[in-house]
A and B are shown apart, each in its own frame.
Chain A
Amino acid sequence: MASILRFRKLCYVEPVRSSSLGFRSFETLKVDNKEESVVSKVKNKLLEKKKNTRQSKEWRCIDHCCWIIGYMFTTWWLLLFLYHCLPTTLPGFRVLESPGTRLKREGLTALHPVVLVPGIVTGGLELWEGRPCADGLFRKRLWVGSFAEIFKRPWCWTEHLSLHNETGLDPPGIRVRAVPGLVAANHFAPGYFVWAVLIENLAKIGYEGKNLHMAAYDWRLSFQNTEIRDKALSRLKSKIELMYVTNGYKKVVVVPHSMGVIYFLHFLKWVESPPPMGGGGGPGWCAKHIKAIMNIAPAFLGVPKAVSNIFSAEGKDVPFIRAMAPGVLDSEILRLRTVEHFMRVSRTWDSTISLLPKGGETIWGNLDWSPEEGNGCDFEKKGEPSMSDNNLNHSNGRRGFKVKDPVKYGRIISFGKAASQLPSSQLPTHDSKESLHKSASTNFNSSCGEVWTEYDEMSRESIRKISENKAYTAATLFDLLCSVAPKMMRRAKNHFSHGISDNLDDPKYSHYKYWSNPLETKLPNAPDMEIYCLYGVGIPTERAYVYKLEPSDKCKNIPFRIDSSAVGDSGSCLKSGVYFVDGDESVPVHSAGFMCAKGWRGRTRFNPSGMATYIREYRHKRPASLLEGRVTKSGAHVNIIGNVALIEDILRVAAGATGAEIEGDKIYSDIIRMSERINLRI
């Protein structure tokens, strides 16, 4: 109390003096400290000694801050300088020779033009027209790069990345377009390469702008819409034709990645279809222009991750969350709604639907059966390449099958751990369709209207009904999604199909919505073309989920959550509510490999001209040391583009090798056995 009084008194009495004092201290700031103390002594004899010391103390506070900062900077600069002086290659440190350099020495040179097709989320997007809140962002990247705008103006950013909820095209007044050229997808974020390493190695053997092309497209749109809005397919066609001609009539090697694989599948059908819907290239176009398609980490039959992504926005789908997670997901302010916002944005993107599992129960298994069942879950230790010893593998699998109750991967979504393991006869049966399609009376709560997800429009009751049905397979899944995301699925139905065709000659299959589904299209008539499936194995990959109802009744929340408490025994495939199988972290092996292993192998109804298919698997190995970086031997979904063995394969094919010359199949996983278990008429 006394001190407060004193303080007041002083404030009241001293304003003049203190202001003069302050002014002086400000003035002398530039003078040396010693001088300062001398000057102050001379000039201010009136001042008491204590003030003198107080002043020097004040000095100290600011000075020390400045001093420390200055010190730090000087050291930093010094280190930076030293770092720059450092020779790029330290003596004694052996730099790994890049495959490009090695193959160049072997005499490989650029022969066939190469087209790269990026996958989902890895392509850059830039702004061409926006709302006032996006002023000054014209032709700046909204997606890929530093993502700085997410932090600066998050609402504006989500608004601009969303598409129109009805049409799946641009909302009025906003134009966001794909970045063209090689820069579009060489790096996803600073230091996180996508195509950069591959491009660099291609350049080593002589590739450059004229024979290397990145087919960038707006990955948010459905495939046909990229043509309608941006003419992306026409541009790709004209580019391939041009490269074919200018490089001495050498056919093109296409290297699509992830979703780019099905995008290019769509292109193959589009380009040979007659004009109003297709590109009018005529039936011989592919045979004339394409030498090989080297699908990297192909998601031919979809990925289960896409299901959880759409259902509850929880997918760890590759880089998206990884890019968001550190800052946004954990940020206190945005925490509550980040996931909801993400769901709202991503549900306007048609392309996510293209990644839903295709082929229904035949491919993905039903309540009691799945093609992968019986495989252990310790992928990293497992086996040698099984070129010829399928038999051995087979027996291995069978033994596992007998020992353990098989995991029911077919139930892609099950509510509760118990439901995921019970035999199907014990599951409670509801007529799922009826309950799901019952129109829900909306208890839309206006107090939380800001973040709109379609869950807000569903009644609590219908949500409970969904969870009572316990288990969903790849087939019933679509009914589920139709009920939780009706608008999105309505858009999707016009653009994608996820079934298996019985009769490929049915004229309905000339519609473009079937073109991206390998089970509902024929490959083009190009017997000399080669199709490769290059993918990583040895990483646990999400395959099925255990869900729970979110207890809180709050309107803003997504009512379903992955039940991360559901954990299996050690060595089981269940971890924090997710069943894992072998794969590359995003795509399970049988989605990536089935078409090449069985669906298209030989002359089948999906591959009437009998073009050759090859499977090349790359076993994932963790980098031995930090210096090695994240690449060289990785099998992970995106990192695999830096895998040395994969790069070498691509370079060899681009330089003219055929599949047989790079030693045909290279298989580590059980893909052959799995494919055999899938009972599909081919």
Chain B
Amino acid sequence: MPLIRRRNPAETDKNSGPDSNNRNEKSEEEEEEENDNKKHKNKKKKSTIAKAKKVEEKSSNWSCVDSCCWLIGCICTIWWVLLFLYNAMPSSFPQYLTEAITGPLPDPPGVKLRKEGLRVKHPVVFVPGIVTGGLELWEGHQCADGLFRKRLWGGTFGEVYRRPLCWVEHMCLDNETGLDPPGIRVRSVTGLVAADYFAPGYFVWAVLIANLASIGYEEKNMYMASYDWRISFQNTEVRDHTLSQIKSKIELMVATSGGKKAVIVPHSMGVLYFLHFMKWVEAPAPMGGGGGPDWCSKHIKAVMNIGGPFLGVPKAVAGLFSAEAKDVAVARAIKPGFLDNDIFRLQTLQYVMKMSRTWDSTMSMIPKGGDTIWGGLDWSPEECVPSKRRQRNNDTQLARQNVEGNLASQSRNVNYGRIISFGKDVAEAHSSDIERTVFQGATKGLNVANTTCRDVWTEYHDMGIEGIRAVAEHKVYTAGSVLDLFNFVAPKMMARGDAHFSYGIADNLDDPKYEHYKYWSNPLETRLPNAPDMEIFSLYGVGIPTERAYVYKLSSSAECYIPFQIDTSAESEDEDGCMKDGVYTVEGDETVPVLSAGFMCARGWRGKTRFNPSGIRTYIREYDHSPPANLLEGRGTQSGAHVDIMGNFALIEDVVRVAAGATGEDLGGDRVYTDIFKWSEKINVQL
């Protein structure tokens, strides 16, 4: 703008000559011509009308369309200028800005450790979790023309908006087999690109990869074990030979890096997947990988589980029951545009439910261990730690004392064991006060008028109103009875699930039935491999309220809708309470409660137990969540949230150190902020 302003006098000068009248006229004519070009119709008036009049005439011709065009032009020009400036900006500019505001940033851990002299040593394998891996199309129906080898999942999700129904159709699996529907092949993206970013700008593994690269890692000693996270673990091998590929890749990397064992870094559901892998690889050939009983001890140095839902997550229950879980990015990714979109509003959730119920893998996250682990009607291992009094310091001892002080007042009214309860009063009442009816016997009838909503199929339509009422009248479900509930409301899904997953606790691990693959991903029904030199880490974030139990209600119009909804009106009386919007929360990383992430390493596998016969050493490393200090920091370098923790500098440093050869002891052993040990003691599992 200043430029233009400065030019004003010059132009004025030119015009202010003696022949200004002439010029005036000329300029008017010019304008006239330009207007002609614009195909406006004042041609006739050209020479006859007085000049003063002309001016007004013209300006009136500056019509609405022109203004619009003008506005668009203006915006575009400004945008271009900004874009140009942005591109001309040196790439380190944002960093300067951040440093100017917050002071010098610490070196990223990779650079720091490189200065310390750490170098590549052990090959590293990443195992991504649910929903973070990309999926691409290999064969599709007519509607997906031109999407060959384009990403359907991950990336921009552009297709969700463009052809939502087509997209849902391709993401669904077959409802009976849990494999591809006929004519559709959607496969996981391979290589590091599969899960480095989930969406543009939303990193998953990228930061960790970059830090490993700065101490010398590259493609030949890093491997992303991407798999199709929709299908059950054993099916990834049956359909895609994914487990064989991982086995062969690990063998290759160990061989080519001079016999250095691999460090495995699974995240989220990848933890269970890798647990399955470790059993699979040592099992004999037809069902397993035939690697022999010492494969793991020969090839694996350490398993560094990040945010591992060893014992499942309550979120999965809500997700399967009413598609309302904020789990996973399913809803989160789709929500902003899709859920609130007026056209699709009515049925979006149903579509999500229909889609996610065909995914076997979601069932691997249903809480395992039943009432023993997750608590019965009247007790639960955790207690509510109000957010106000949560300790941020490193001193666990102090934190524990504080919490114990509060224990008496708090633990009475939180019944975490009741994972689903209908109505808030039920959630808080004593168990003897609750009247429960048995729902299994309730007759399922066809819904009366479901013709209107036939295209969206969910199994609720088969249940009938009576069945739904029966479910609601049972009032309270614990981790054990939730399975019965699912068997009732989603029989097809559970039929598939029963063939692939198991949720119990083994009494006798020597029972030959435990050789079946459906037990392999349940840490309470398998033994760890015989590998005394291996180390197992459990790295997870703490300090974020995490969903643990839900208060449900029957939704008012039960016709085409999902009949159950989380009762968002249920709030605890005092503001310290652990219930908000109908959800009871506990300590965790926003998705996985501490209990699920830490119990196995804190107790189940600690020392020589029946689950860990060779005495593999286990370590717990907790990372206290502190939100990013300012916007420039992005998602934070000290975050403890389920996915964001992958950018946590302390965690990255731990991983890099182990990859460069350190042991758990070198890292400093356990690092605990929560009461995980105390809570674990309360759980009565035979070890």
Residues of B within 8 A of A54 (CB): 11-12, 15
Q: Digitize A41-70: 1 where CB-to-B-CB distance is under 8 Å, 0 elsewhere.
A: 000000001111110111010111111111
Instruction: Assess the B241–A6 pair: CB atoms within 8 A.
Output: no
**Lowest 7 A-B CB distances belong to which pairs?**
A70-B73, A22-B5, A66-B73, A70-B69, A69-B73, A70-B72, A246-B241
Instruction: Assess the B13–A6 pair: CB atoms within 8 A.
Output: yes
A and B contact pairs by CB, cutoff 8 A, 24 listed = A14-B9, A18-B5, A18-B12, A36-B59, A51-B12, A53-B15, A53-B27, A58-B8, A66-B70, A66-B77, A70-B69, A70-B73, A73-B76, A74-B72, A129-B214, A138-B213, A139-B192, A178-B219, A182-B190, A186-B149, A200-B149, A209-B188, A210-B245, A231-B220
Given contacts A26-B5, A66-B77, A69-B77, contact A209 B70 (CB under 8 A): no
Instruction: Assess the B59–A65 pair: CB atoms within 8 A.
Output: no
Residues of B within 8 A of A10 (CB): 9, 12-13, 16
Which of A7, A21, A32, A58 is within 8 Å of B67, CB to CB? A32
Cα distance A73–B80 when bound, in Å?
13
Residues of B within 8 A of A246 (CB): 241, 244-245
CB within 8 Å of A: which of B468-494? none
Residues of A within 8 A of B210 (CB): 138-139
Residues of B within 8 A of A22 (CB): 1, 4-5, 8
Instruction: Assess the B10–A135 pair: CB atoms within 8 A.
Output: no
Q: Digitize A186-200: 1 where CB-to-B-CB distance is under 8 Å, 0 elsewhere.
A: 100000000000011
Spell out B's residues near A (CB within 8 Å).
1, 4-5, 8-17, 20, 24, 27-28, 31, 34, 55-56, 59-60, 62, 66-74, 76-77, 91-92, 138-139, 145-146, 148-149, 185, 187-188, 190-193, 196, 209-210, 213-214, 218-220, 240-241, 244-245, 248-249, 251-252, 255-256
Majority SS of interface residues in chain A?
helix
Residues of A within 8 A of B31 (CB): 57, 60
- In the complex, how many angstroms separate the beta carbon of B272 from the nearest chain A beta carbon? 22
Instruction: Assess the A70–B76 pair: CB atoms within 8 A.
Output: yes
Cα distance A68–B72 when bound, in Å?
10
Instruction: Assess the A71–B73 pair: CB atoms within 8 A.
Output: yes
Given contacts A10-B13, A53-B15, A210-B240, contact A63 B70 (CB under 8 A): yes
Selected interface stretch from A235-243, A393-401, A403-411, A648-656: A235-243
Spell out A's residues near B (CB within 8 Å).
3, 6-7, 10-11, 14-15, 18-19, 21-23, 26, 32-34, 36-37, 49-54, 56-58, 60, 62-71, 73-74, 88, 128-129, 135-136, 138-139, 175, 177-178, 180-183, 186, 199-200, 203-204, 206, 208-210, 230-231, 234-235, 238-239, 241-242, 245-246
Instruction: Assess the A230–B248 pair: CB atoms within 8 A.
Output: no
Residues of B within 8 A of A88 (CB): 145-146
Closest Cβ neighbor of A128 among chain B residues: B218
Cα distance A204–B145 when bound, in Å?
13
Residues of B within 8 A of A36 (CB): 59
- In the complex, how many angstroms separate the beta carbon of A143 from the nearest chain B beta carbon? 15
Closest Cβ neighbor of B249 among chain A residues: A238
Residues of A within 8 A of B9 (CB): 7, 10-11, 14-15, 18
- In the complex, how many angstroms separate the beta carbon of A282 from the nearest chain B beta carbon? 16
Instruction: Assess the A203–B148 pair: CB atoms within 8 A.
Output: yes
Instruction: Assess the A57–B27 pair: CB atoms within 8 A.
Output: yes
Instruction: Assess the B193–A183 pair: CB atoms within 8 A.
Output: yes
Cα distance A386–B210 when bound, in Å?
57
Given A60-B31, A180-B219, A209-B190, 18 other A-B contacts at CB below 8 A? A3-B13, A10-B12, A66-B73, A67-B73, A69-B72, A70-B71, A88-B145, A128-B218, A128-B219, A177-B218, A180-B191, A182-B190, A203-B149, A208-B240, A209-B187, A234-B255, A235-B252, A238-B249
Cα distance A189–B191 when bound, in Å?
21
Residues of A within 8 A of B62 (CB): 32-34
Cα distance A200–B16 when bound, in Å?
70
Given contacts A19-B5, A135-B91, A234-B256, contact A7 B10 (CB under 8 A): yes
- In the complex, how many angstroms separate the beta carbon of A151 from the nearest chain B beta carbon? 12
- In the complex, how many angstroms separate the beta carbon of B342 from the nearest chain A beta carbon? 21
Residues of A within 8 A of B15 (CB): 50, 53-54, 57
Instruction: Assess the B138–A203 pair: CB atoms within 8 A.
Output: yes
Residues of A within 8 A of B55 (CB): 37, 52-53, 56
Given contacts A18-B5, A129-B214, A242-B245, contact A231 B256 (CB under 8 A): yes
Closest Cβ neighbor of B28 among chain A residues: A53
Instruction: Assess the B77–A67 pair: CB atoms within 8 A.
Output: no
Residues of B within 8 A of A69 (CB): 72-73, 76-77
Closest Cβ neighbor of A4 among chain B residues: B13
Residues of A within 8 A of B255 (CB): 234
Residues of B within 8 A of A14 (CB): 9, 12
Given contacts A67-B69, A183-B193, A234-B255, contact A135 B92 (CB under 8 A): yes
